[in-house]
Amino acid sequence: MGLIDLHCHLLPGVDDGSKDLDMSLGMARVAVQQGISHIVLTPHHMDGTYVNHKADVLAKTTAFQTALEAAEIPLTVFAGQEVHLTGDLMKALDADDILFLDANEHYLLLELPHSGVPAYTREMIFALQTRGIVPVIAHPERNHGFQTDPDKLYDFMQMGCLTQLTASSYVGVFGDSVEKLTAKIINAGMGVTFASDAHNFKGRRFLMADAFAKLADQAGAETAARFKNNAKAIINGDDIALPSFKRLSAVKKKRRFWLF
């Protein structure tokens, strides 16, 4: 088994990711080159621009798997959604219109608004947890709310949320500050797994091999192995034991102490 990618916009023509089947097959070849063998297809859902109903994503994923096989691309795909945090989320769950990262419906890829962390996020996380759902927060390093107050991420992890850091964030695609924040989250023990969030060939693309090489170099082979195993645990719906993690502010203080 190669790498597992829990978040990408590879499904053709459904959101701001791949435009058509040709592009999707081209991107799929890049994914294979990056060592990826399994991908959860996670089109945007309920983000104010895109709605991708569960039944549609299931049907389109089956069709895309057939196209991959016809093109002899060795990639297994699963149906998922990047679920936006919205007041309508509970209604969508009741209507069985939500896809999870695993067949047990345990792990939910949750996207917060990029502009910040809404005041009702904590209540919503509690509401999800009472249903036995574990939110996996998509790319917190790219969210303005966590960028300005990273301790909010610590609070959500204390509540039981997990994090999905984006591979391209860690290797600098979104600039220096996002790259540094990704590294800080990892150093604080709050990184759980990488995913590509690939949308195209340039910019937001598959950089999983690059990110894992950097992770092994900067944080050690054990951490890299843990990130890979966590992706497998999530897709299988298995429990994840997290190492101890700290507030980012606590990590900073320790460094200052050693400098002086």
User: Could you say which residues in the range 60-89 bind Fe ion, by CB under 5 A?
Assistant: 82
Q: Least Å distance between CB 42 and Fe ion?
A: 6
Please say which residue, 136 or 248, places its beta carbon nearer to Fe ion: 136
* Residue with smaller CB distance to Fe ion, 5 or 82: 82
Q: Is residue 15 at the binding interface for Fe ion, with CB under 5 A as the rule?
A: no
The nearest distance, CB 241 to Fe ion, in angstroms, is 27
> How far is the C-alpha of 203 from the C-alpha of 190, rounded, in Å?
25
Give the nearest distance from C-beta 111 to Fe ion in angstroms: 7
| Interface pattern 19-58 for Fe ion (x via CB under 5 A) | ----------------------------------------
Interface with Fe ion (CB under 5 A), residue total: 2
Nearer Cβ to Fe ion (81/230): 81
120-179: which residues touch Fe ion (CB under 5 A)? Answer: none
Choice between 121 and 169, CB closer to Fe ion: 169
Closest approach of Fe ion to the CB of residue 216, in Å: 25
Separation CA 171–CA 119 (nearest Å): 31
Phi, psi of 217 (to 5 degrees): -70, -45
- Near Fe ion in 170-209, by CB under 5 A: 197
Chain position whose Cβ is nearest to Fe ion: 197
- Tell the smallest beta-carbon distance from residue 249 to Fe ion (Å): 28
State the nearest-atom distance from the C-beta of 65 to Fe ion, in Å: 20
**Is 161 in contact with 137 (CB distance < 8 Å)?**
yes
Which is closer to Fe ion, CB of 82 or CB of 102?
Answer: 82
Q: Is the alpha carbon torsion for 179, 144, 161, 53 positive or negative?
A: negative
Contact residues: Fe ion, CB under 5 A: 82, 197
